Amino acid sequence: GAGVSQSPRYKVAKRGQDVALRCDPISGHVSLFWYQQALGQGPEFLTYFQNEAQLDKSGLPSDRFFAERPEGSVSTLKIQRTQQEDSAVYLCASHLRGVGFYEQYFGPGTRLTVT
């Protein structure tokens, strides 16, 4: 079946612009995660949804970052007033259940470059 998909794959934004990154999880997956991967580093957790509920947003670096999943499927990560330090690959992952520990599957990522 289809895996996790993300769009756009690449985004170039001028400093100060707002951007929106989309994630389509695997169909039926309850849990959805966003991670940020800086160049040469491992991914770092940003936020977690169980269905439409955002249960953990402890990794969001500032109040310029906002995520939503209004119908419990597709999720959008929005970054307002982008800064150069926001340049990174943004990865989305999903797993099947809400409670418990299950294998996470990752999308291909969106590479954001802020100029």
Summarize as ranges the residues that interact with another protein (CB under 8 A): 31, 33, 35, 37, 41-45, 48, 55-56, 59, 89, 91, 93, 95, 100-106, 108-109, 111
For 20, 24, 26, 44, 62, the CA distances from 73, given in Å and listed in that order, are: 16, 7, 9, 22, 24
CB of 81 to another protein, least distance (A): 26
Per the DSSP assignment, residues forming a β-bridge with 37 are: 89
Q: Which is nearer to another protein, 56 or 85 (CB)?
A: 56
Give me the least distance between CB of 38 and another protein, in Å please: 11
Min dist. Cβ of residue 74 to another protein (A) = 20
Query: Is 69 or 95 the residue whose CB approaches another protein more closely?
Result: 95
Q: Is 5 helix (H, G, I), strand (E, B) or coil?
A: strand
Distances (CA, A) of 79 to 18, 28, 66, 84, 106: 6, 27, 6, 12, 20
Please report how close the Cβ of residue 30 comes to another protein at its closest, in angstroms. Answer: 11
Q: Would you say 66 or 105 has its CB closer to another protein?
A: 105
Closest CA to 62 of 48, 49, 78, 75: 78
